């Protein structure tokens, strides 16, 4: 029976395939670039074919590399699950969940006590790092993400469909120079979330003002900080209607009466095989049934 190549070389291959460069993958794994390259070469030698096309601006998968990536990801996912079960022989279920802070604060955490009462065996590790979809199966089991669409290779369940609200400090609405019409956005800064960069673009097209340009645009990677910046009068935040409603902040107001559908939705996302993991399946079923 042929010997398997080292597991470390398989993990190295998947990281390089995910990042597209040896440098980024080496940084992720805490290895030197030569050490990572040697692991890739070990795997290529075992398979007998190159897995990457190497060019001056990075790497791209060969046909053999793409085939191996698709087959290897789920196998390593299952192996991680086996190791986790072996290291936790009690009845505890643990979910590694990536989630945006504002969704967690406004929608998930208020409902977690009922989940804990119903399933005290389930424990959830929370992280809020970006690029969640790329990290599924490698550090996280599932994610609640904000996107226009999801990679069809992943399992995804849409959690909502919302409206876009311009949200501002009450002082901008009833101060000395109140903002009462969209044209006045030309003299203010607008605030956009990095996960929703086209929100204002879609909003201004929907209201029939594609030419409208604000004085400036500031980007945030935190929804709670966006709301606080808007409340402090730093700018007008373009966010979802429930972000405004669930904030219950008397300092904030919705500007204008335009009813504009958001191009973005919250999604529950995981690798298809992850739904076979008890913790993922339990949380998924509860989340959809609870209509959070």
Distance CA 236, CA 230 (A): 6
Q: Give the relative orientation of helices 22-29 and 7-19 as an angle to the nearest 10 degrees.
A: 130
Distance CA 252, CA 249 (A): 6
State the burial class of residue 203 (Cβ atoms within 10 Å of its Cβ: 0-12, 13-18, 19+).
Answer: buried
Same fold, 90-160+266-290 and 163-261: yes
The domain made up of 90-160+266-290 has a fold known as D-Maltodextrin-Binding Protein; domain 2 (3.40.190)
Would you say the pTM of this structure is higher than 0.85? Answer: no
Contacts for 172-179: CB closer than 8 Å, 24+ residues apart: 172/233, 172/236, 172/253, 172/255, 173/253, 173/255, 179/236, 179/255
The domain made up of 163-261 has a fold known as D-Maltodextrin-Binding Protein; domain 2 (3.40.190)
**Which pLDDT score, from 0 to 100, does residue 36 have?**
84
Q: Where are the alpha helices (DSSP H) in 1-156?
A: 7-19, 22-29, 33-47, 63-87, 101-103, 112-118
Out of 1.10.645.10, 1.10.10.10, 3.30.2130.10, 3.40.50.300, the CATH code matching 7-85 is 1.10.10.10
**Selection from 63-77, 82-96, 278-292 with the highest mean pLDDT:** 278-292
**Which pLDDT score, from 0 to 100, does residue 90 have?**
54
Name which residue leads in pLDDT, 172 or 242. Answer: 242
Distance CA 146, CA 156 (A): 11
Predicted confidence band at 288 (pLDDT cuts at 50, 70, 90)?
very high
Whether the per-residue pLDDT at 150 is higher than 80: the answer is yes
Of 104-113, 126-135, 240-249, 281-290, least confident by mean pLDDT is 126-135
Domains of the chain, by residue range, sit at 7-85, 90-160+266-290, 163-261
């Amino acid at each position: 029976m042929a010997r398997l190549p080292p597991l470390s070389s398989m993990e190295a291959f998947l990281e390089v395939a995910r990042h597209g460069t040896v440098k980024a993958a080496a940084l992720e794994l805490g290895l030197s670039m030569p050490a990572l390259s040697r692991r890739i070469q070990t795997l290529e030698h075992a398979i007998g074919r190159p897995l990457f096309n190497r060019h001056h601006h990075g790497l791209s998968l060969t046909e053999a590399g793409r085939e191996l990536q698709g087959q290897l990801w789920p196998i390593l996912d299952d192996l991680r699950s086996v190791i986790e079960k072996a290291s936790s022989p009690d009845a505890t279920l643990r979910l590694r969940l990536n989630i945006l802070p504002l969704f967690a604060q406004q929608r998930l955490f208020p409902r977690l006590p009922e989940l804990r009462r119903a399933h005290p065996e389930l424990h959830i590790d929370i992280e809020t790092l970006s690029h969640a979809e790329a990290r599924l199966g490698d550090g996280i089991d599932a994610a609640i993400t904000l996107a226009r669409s999801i990679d069809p290779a992943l399992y995804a369940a849409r959690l909502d469909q919302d409206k876009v609200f311009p949200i501002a400090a009450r002082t901008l609405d009833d101060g000395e120079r109140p903002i009462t019409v969209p044209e006045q956005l030309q003299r203010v800064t607008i605030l956009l979330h990095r996960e929703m960069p086209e929100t204002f673009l879609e909003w201004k097209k929907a209201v029939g003002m594609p030419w409208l340009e604000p004085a400036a645009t500031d980007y945030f990677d935190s929804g709670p900080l966006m709301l606080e910046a808007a409340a402090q009068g730093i700018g007008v935040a373009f966010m979802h209607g429930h972000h405004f409603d669930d904030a219950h902040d008397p300092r904030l107001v919705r500007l204008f009466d335009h009813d504009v559908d958001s191009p973005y939705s919250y999604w529950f996302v995981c690798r298809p095989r992850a739904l076979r993991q008890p913790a993922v399946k339990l949380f998924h079923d509860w989340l959809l049934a609870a209509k959070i």
